[in-house]
Amino acid sequence: MATRRPLTQFVESYRFWDVTTLWARERVEHENVVASALARGVICDGLRLQSIDDRWIKGNDRAVEFKGFPYVGYRADPNAPMCVLRASALDHLLGIVNRADVPSREKLSEEFILRKDFRAWLVRLNLRLPTFWFGAVV
């Protein structure tokens, strides 16, 4: 009999607030605590957060839809791949980390985290992989 993997293990990316909500529920912590930790991960530790999938930009014939927002490239680590973020999202993340602003669901509504980037960040910091995305650790 084959072992079934949870469907969440097939989800390639989640929005920032979906990760926040699911991880907060799993950790039994307030969403603002988890969102602040994720913001610090992006700004200080190199967790990749995206507003636009960079696969759409690199040599692809399809037009990228920018929806009128200004975008910036950001990387916490000069050797890490660049994040493409809405300028307003980056400003808000910096505010969370530098001024202890309250994380806003609305200001981070478009941003997403790829499963592989989240895993790499967790492994780099020696944190346990959350079951909501990676299943139970065997």
Average pLDDT over residues 72-82: 89
Q: Is residue 44 part of a domain?
A: yes
Whole-model pTM: value is: 0.85
Total number of domains in the chain: 1
In 3-state terms, what secondary structure has residue 1? coil
In a domain, 54, yes or no: yes
Task: Indicate whether 3 belongs to any domain.
Answer: no
- Position 60 pLDDT exceeds 70: no
Instruction: Tell me which residue range forms the domain holding 97.
Output: 12-134
Quick one: the chain helix, strand, coil %, rounded to 5? 45, 10, 45
Residue 64 belongs to some domain of the structure: yes
**Across the chain, what does the average pLDDT equal?**
87
